[in-house]
């Protein structure tokens, strides 16, 4: 019995597992199960006196209706799955926080799945949705999604009444309503700001190939240059990952090659900070020698010296839109194909 001291066996005997049901409540209140259900559903077809007795019994027995029975009977649960690229990145954790809060407001639970940038996991996860009788699925991913092959599955789910939403990436041409941050316009605005402050030539640093948002931001950069009548210098466009180290390395290499540029637009704050560190390490002054603008508005950028100028995010607004859309969808209403959330240009010290 010594082991009992440092282990815990929380599983009780099976007979103990009794949980109060609607019939227990009914018996105590002297009514039928149907009546209890009606009271709890808030139908006002129940006489006030009866309702009181029922509510009293519910309180006394601490009755909690079995969600599985409800879900089985109604054919639908109260859960929404959130599929996220990488919860560890602050963009996604901030998003998750606000989406969770917003869904909680309308009584929905959040089932979290972390894709870990593995797009092949998507199919399996979407297939689970049917079994789980989900209310909806929210996809939050910047990675390019193989919608071509996923489309039939998505349509089948939608036919089953599962509301599918995309956050951060436009998927509306596949029939998926999307809530996105401003990307192209935001990047263009940032580039324009650099042009206006006489910072041309502007280098561009981003994950472009496999990132949907990366591509959109890149278009904004191109548009701004084109608007100013400037030709894009391919040597100043650096396609890499989104990580800090990649930014550091790209900037180092550019300086080694003595490329001529007076500013940098980076498609993520991590990249921007990495690049900034490299520039500072080589004795350059930021923003005097090279101005830098990032993307995302992470906390770290606010505290670093010089503080990072960046296109911020608004996860709260996104969460609220998601909530409103679900509210609409549950009422059988329509929902906009696309909702765009503004990105504030947070002017700090680096540009």
Partner DNA sequence: GCGCAGCCTGCAAACGTTTTCTGATATCGT
Partner DNA sequence: ACGATATCAGAAAACGTTTGCAGGCTGCGC
Which stretches of the chain bind DNA, using CB under 7 A? 19, 21-23, 30-38, 40-41, 45-47, 49-51, 63-66, 69-70, 72-75
Contact string (CB under 8 A) for a copy of itself, positions 150-189, x = contact: --------xxxx-xx-------x--xxx------------
Q: Which of a copy of itself, DNA, none lies near 132, with the C-beta cut-off 5 to 8 A by kind? A: a copy of itself
SS3 322: helix
Q: Rg of the chain over CA atoms, in angstroms? A: 27
Q: Which of DNA, a copy of itself, none lies near 35, with the C-beta cut-off 5 to 8 A by kind? A: DNA
Q: Which of a copy of itself, DNA, none lies near 100, with the C-beta cut-off 5 to 8 A by kind? A: a copy of itself
Q: How far is the CB of 20 from DNA (least distance, A)?
A: 7
Q: Quick one: 73 or 123, whose CB is closer to DNA?
A: 73
Is 149 near a copy of itself (CB under 8 A)? no
Is 21 near a copy of itself (CB under 8 A)? no
Binding-residue total with a copy of itself (CB under 8 A): 76
Closest CA to 185 of 338, 344, 302: 344
| Cβ atoms of residues 115 and 167 within 8 Å | no
Is 88 near a copy of itself (CB under 8 A)? yes
Q: Which of DNA, a copy of itself, none lies near 32, with the C-beta cut-off 5 to 8 A by kind? A: DNA
Interface region with a copy of itself, contact rule CB under 8 A, candidates 12-20, 43-51, 206-214, 223-231: 12-20
Closest CA to 81 of 128, 148, 142: 128
Q: Phi-psi category of 107—alpha, beta or left, where left has phi over 0 and alpha has psi -120 to 50? A: left
Contact string (CB under 8 A) for a copy of itself, positions 103-142, x = contact: -x----xxxxxx-x----------xx-xxxx---------
State how far the Cα of 273 lies from the Cα of 248, in Å rounded to an integer: 8
Record the tokens describing residue 199, joined without a space: 């910072």
Q: Which of a copy of itself, DNA, none lies near 335, with the C-beta cut-off 5 to 8 A by kind? A: a copy of itself
Helices 120-132 and 147-159: crossing angle in degrees, nearest 10, is 10
Interface region with a copy of itself, contact rule CB under 8 A, candidates 200-208, 209-217, 252-260, 329-337: 329-337
State how far the Cα of 303 lies from the Cα of 301, in Å rounded to an integer: 6
Q: Quick one: 55 or 307, whose CB is closer to DNA?
A: 55
Put the strands of the sheet holding 202-206 in their side by side order: 237-239, 202-206, 263-266, 291-295, 309-311, 345-346
Q: Quick one: 128 or 262, whose CB is closer to DNA?
A: 128
Q: Quick one: 22 or 275, whose CB is closer to DNA?
A: 22
**Cis before 328? omega within 30:** no
Torsion on CA atoms 142, 143, 144, 148, rounded to nearest 10:
-100
Q: How far is the CB of 80 from DNA (least distance, A)?
A: 19
End-to-end CA distance of the chain: 68
| Cβ atoms of residues 337 and 165 within 8 Å | no
Site for a copy of itself in 240-299 (CB under 8 A): 244, 273-274, 277, 280, 299
């Amino acid at each position: 019995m010594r082991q009992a001291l440092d282990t815990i066996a929380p599983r009780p005997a099976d007979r103990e597992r009794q949980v109060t049901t609607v019939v227990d409540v009914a018996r105590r209140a002297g009514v039928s199960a149907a009546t209890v259900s009606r009271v709890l559903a808030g139908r006002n077809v129940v006489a006030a006196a009866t309702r009181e007795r029922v509510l009293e019994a519910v309180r006394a027995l601490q009755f909690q209706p079995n969600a599985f029975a409800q879900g089985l009977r109604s054919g639908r649960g109260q859960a929404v799955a959130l599929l996220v690229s990488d919860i560890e990145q602050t963009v996604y954790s901030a998003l998750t926080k606000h989406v969770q809060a917003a869904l909680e407001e309308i009584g929905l639970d959040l089932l979290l799945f972390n894709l870990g940038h593995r797009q092949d996991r998507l199919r399996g996860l979407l297939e689970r949705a049917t079994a789980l009788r989900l209310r909806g699925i929210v996809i939050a991913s910047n990675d390019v999604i193989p919608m071509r092959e996923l489309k039939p599955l998505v349509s089948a789910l939608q036919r089953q009444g599962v509301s599918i939403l995309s956050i951060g990436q436009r998927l509306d041409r596949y029939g998926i309503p999307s809530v996105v941050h401003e990307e192209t316009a935001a990047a263009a605005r940032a580039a324009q700001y650099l042009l206006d402050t006489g910072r041309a030539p502007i280098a561009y640093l981003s994950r472009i190939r496999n990132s949907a948002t990366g591509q959109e931001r890149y278009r904004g950069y191109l548009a701004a240059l084109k608007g100013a009548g400037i030709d894009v210098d391919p040597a100043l466009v650096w396609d890499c990952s989104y990580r800090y180290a990649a930014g550091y390395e790209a900037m180092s290499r550019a300086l080694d090659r003595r490329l001529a540029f007076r500013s940098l637009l980076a498609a993520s704050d991590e990249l921007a900070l990495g690049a900034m560190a490299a520039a500072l390490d080589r004795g350059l002054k930021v923003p005097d020698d090279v101005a830098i603008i990032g993307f995302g508005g992470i906390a770290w950028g606010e505290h670093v010296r010089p503080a990072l100028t960046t296109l911020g995010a608004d996860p709260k607004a996104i969460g609220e839109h998601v909530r409103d859309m679900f509210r609409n969808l549950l009422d059988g209403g329509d929902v906009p194909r696309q909702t765009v959330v503004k990105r504030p240009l947070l002017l700090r010290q680096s540009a």
